[in-house]
Chain A
Amino acid sequence: MAELNQKTNTNWNIVFICWIIASVSTIGSLFFSEIMDLPPCALCWYQRIFMFPLVFLFTVGLFPFDKRIIKYALPLALTGLGFAIYHYLLYSGFIPESLAPCSQGVSCTETYIDLFGFLTIPMLSLISFSAIIVLLLILLRRNHK
């Protein structure tokens, strides 16, 4: 019984960390756009679309802990990661911008923030989505055994 309890606790903690990551990403991206007035480009908007709902999904999945959260959150996170990878490749020049869908309005390749030489906004998004996916996969494995 104690062991089972321990296991549920760890599961809960994993989702909780996912929730923290999604919340920090959401608040951070709102800080960039609303406080620092950095206009979000088209690709940033798509990544936001897949990040913001995760905060609410994870909240619901925490009370009470529900392992089906994996099933609901993973598609969002994977799609978000797809956009983040594409954005990152565009940003670092692997894909020429002429192929990009966002040549009008706000440029997707303009550098606004560059912390420590590598932490750009697309990089932050990439890290968040990857971390959430890895955590969800760990959760999946734990609950399959």
Chain B
Amino acid sequence: MKKQYIVISSSLILALLFVLGVMLYNKQQIKKYGFMALENASTFVREHSPTLGNHDARVYLIEFTDPACETCSKFHPLVKKLMADNPGKIKLIIRYAPFHGGADYYVKILEAARRQGKYWETLEVMFQTQRFWTSHKNPQPDLIWKFLLKAGLDLPKIKSDMNDPKIENIIKQDLADAKTLNVRKTPGFFVNGKPLQKFGYKQLKELVTSEIKRNY
């Protein structure tokens, strides 16, 4: 056999092995998460997790998010559009994965706002104004307070509530679950326990649609 052919065919075999590995790995991951979703549903949805949408919806969209994550803020309107397009069928569950340095601070504010019944308004304001207080070079977390007024929050109360150790525990639990579920980037999506394999709106929409078809 000519030497060129040996190298070319070896390259092809290696590439093939890689693709095969990807397929096997993905299949095994789906199986693993499916099993976890059955056996260990609480890893995906905790008692403390904020939810949005119809309580009886059969499609659970679980989002691991970070108030300081840019892609999360860009994705948020898309997630809401997905819910609006399928009224009553999707329940959004927010889990925290504050991977950005100092992002705990924003989650604490968010959880404190929840006690005032202004959770979703606050999340909205955070995502909209994020670029002003989370520059990667020069984060200015204190600037966030100016914008929080827009959500109609009682700021002194937020400042005292946000230091509640209960909130700290929520973050710890969510981070532990994120680790169990192999979430290393935000936003991390699961639909009824199935992970979003390849990140993108189109892919998320397909996954959600297939789950709606399966459950309705």
| Interface of chain A, main secondary structure | helix
Give the CA-CA distance A126 to B22 in the complex, in Å.
24
> With A23-B14, A31-B21 given, is the CB distance from A37 to B185 under 8 Å?
yes
Q: Is the beta-carbon distance between B3 and A23 smaller than 8 angstroms?
A: no
Q: Is B11 an interface residue (CB 8 A)?
A: yes
Count, chain A residues at interface, CB 8 A? 17
Find residues 98-118 in chain A having any chain B CB closer than 8 Å to their own CB: none
Q: Is the beta-carbon distance between B3 and A24 smaller than 8 angstroms?
A: no
Give the CA-CA distance A24 to B17 in the complex, in Å.
10
Q: Is B115 an interface residue (CB 8 A)?
A: no
Find residues 1-29 in chain B having any chain A CB closer than 8 Å to their own CB: 3-4, 6-7, 10-11, 14, 17-18, 21-22, 25
Chain A nearest CB: distance from B1 CB in Å?
Answer: 12
Q: Is B182 an interface residue (CB 8 A)?
A: yes
Q: Is the beta-carbon distance between B4 and A63 smaller than 8 angstroms?
A: yes
Q: Is B184 an interface residue (CB 8 A)?
A: yes
Chain A nearest CB: distance from B103 CB in Å?
Answer: 15
Give the CA-CA distance A20 to B184 in the complex, in Å.
31
Nearest CB in chain B to that of A38: its residue: B184
Residues of B within 8 A of A35 (CB): 21-22, 25
Find residues 52-76 in chain A having any chain B CB closer than 8 Å to their own CB: 59, 62-63
Residues of B within 8 A of A59 (CB): 7
Of A20, A37, A63, the residue contacting B182 (CB under 8 A) is A37
Q: Is A1 an interface residue (CB 8 A)?
A: no
Q: Is A96 an interface residue (CB 8 A)?
A: no
Give the CA-CA distance A12 to B3 in the complex, in Å.
9
Residues of A within 8 A of B4 (CB): 63
Give the CA-CA distance A36 to B183 in the complex, in Å.
11
> With A35-B21, A36-B25 given, is the CB distance from A62 to B185 under 8 Å?
no
Chain A nearest CB: distance from B7 CB in Å?
Answer: 6
Q: Is A134 an interface residue (CB 8 A)?
A: no
Q: Is the beta-carbon distance between A63 and B3 smaller than 8 angstroms?
A: yes
Residues of A within 8 A of B17 (CB): 27
Give the CA-CA distance A62 to B11 in the complex, in Å.
14
Residues of B within 8 A of A38 (CB): 184
Residues of B within 8 A of A12 (CB): 3
Give the CA-CA distance A30 to B185 in the complex, in Å.
17
Nearest CB in chain A to that of B185: its residue: A37
Chain B nearest CB: distance from A63 CB in Å?
Answer: 7
Residues of B within 8 A of A30 (CB): 18
Give the CA-CA distance A59 to B139 in the complex, in Å.
46
